Amino acid sequence: MPPRTRKPAQPSAAGQTPKSPKPEPTPLSKLLSLPEIEDIRGALLRWYRHGHRDMPWRKLGDPYAIWVSEIMLQQTRVDTVRAYFQRFMQRFPTIAALAAAPADAVLASWSGLGYYARARNLQAAAADIVAQYGGEFPRDPQAVRALPGIGPYTAGAILSIAFGQQAALLDGNVIRVLARLRALSESPDSAEGKRLYWALSAALVPPPAAAAADADQSGAPGDLRRNDPGDFNQALMELGATVCLPQRPICLICPLRLDCLAHKRGDVESFPRKKAARPAPVVNVVTLVLRCAEQVLLLKRPAAGLWGGLWEPATLPMQPEEAAEAALLRLGRERLGLELGLWPAQALAPFVHVLSHREMHFVPLLIDWPDATLPAGLRLAGYDDAQLVDLRLPQALGLSAWVMTLLRRVAAVPSKESERHQTSPTP
């Protein structure tokens, strides 16, 4: 009788071997003790109140101003936001003024700031606040989170900074501080990581009632109006933006360095764990500047989608290996209902506009239109409106950064009419 042999292990299903189980997420109780929480709160509040960056919205204490600033600060640097914030608040000083403003006026005030859905949502939320709350920003957390464009981070910022509520927030700066503070191996992009980071942030935010006690302990005059939740959240963001930097963090002056596990390991820049970067897809786009004397033809994009509601020269994605001249003719037929081969087109310098999720490679062409009116037979496809805009005053409309750059270039190119005047003999 032949010897019995052991059968090989069978694959689990469809010929696949069983996957190893995922590591369990770190329990919050293992990350922070109550004494550690108190130490971190005290150290960070003392550091922040001793001195922080001067920002215009911090001086106002107005929920509307704080809301506008937090929306602008999403994906945008503080230095860029300062000037935009002041101009925006001068033009729309109240929630009611913002709700009643023309959409083009709001987008024009946002031009160059990017992520234009923020401006559209801001105005939509202002209209809801006027309709439902008489123009007063709501204090109820559920009501705040229900407003257009307000997610968990923005809600936490407004509720804590404007109203002193014990509400957590989480942005890129805060994630970096928390990941290093506890040397978290969880990726902030994973479902488990998101839950852990939010739980950690919520555990650290002090309650409002702690304000007077902490003020006495620090030796500062007692002030019942002191906003511990708001100050703490701003301190977390301030620390990430000025000290706990992505590269070359300034650990020597960090108020949390004694509590920071990544610092103790000497491996600060390894946290948070980074996901593999994916190359952004490249989109080649032909764009036509149709110039009529000192005016250019601009078209309004649909409200939904990329650059929604903004104005731009006619654009069309190019097909693979398509030449610019062929793409221009196709643009004329498909976007404008015009045969553009009848007029000479001048090629302008191509340029690249980088978005968070794609690279736009623009191939601009310029045609000097012989008339001073909109072309007869113009039939728009993919756009909601058209108008001729003075090249010297395009800021009255909402324009993206790439459009403003392109129009400045066009303004420096002499028109055929001006060349004729320059070369014609004087009588």
Active site residues: 70
Long-range contacts of 417-422 (CB under 8 A, 24+ apart): 417/293, 417/368
Separation of alpha carbons 174 and 240, rounded Å: 6
Question: 347 in helix, strand or coil?
Answer: strand
Separation of alpha carbons 354 and 280, rounded Å: 9
The DSSP result for 35-101, as a single string, is HHHHHHHHHHHHHHHH-----HHHHH--HHHHHHHHHHHTTS-HHHHHHHHHHHHHHS-SHHHHHHS
Both structure tokens of 130:
């006027």
The residues that bridge with 282 in the sheet, in sequence order, are 359
Query: What's the full length of the chain, in residues?
Result: 427
DSSP β-ladder status, 359-368 and 282-292: parallel
Separation of alpha carbons 155 and 200, rounded Å: 17
Both structure tokens of 284:
């080649």
**Of 155, 145, 121, 135, which Cα lies nearest the Cα of 93?**
135
Which H or E run contains 368?
strand 359-368
Q: What are phi and psi of 346, to 5 degrees?
A: -100, 125
Q: 232-265: buried (b, 16+ CB within 10 Å) or exposed (e) per residue?
A: bbbbbbbbbbebbbeeebebeebbbbebbbbbee
The residues that bridge with 362 in the sheet, in sequence order, are 285, 351
Both structure tokens of 349:
């310098």
The residues that bridge with 299 in the sheet, in sequence order, are 312, 386
Both structure tokens of 156:
């936490």
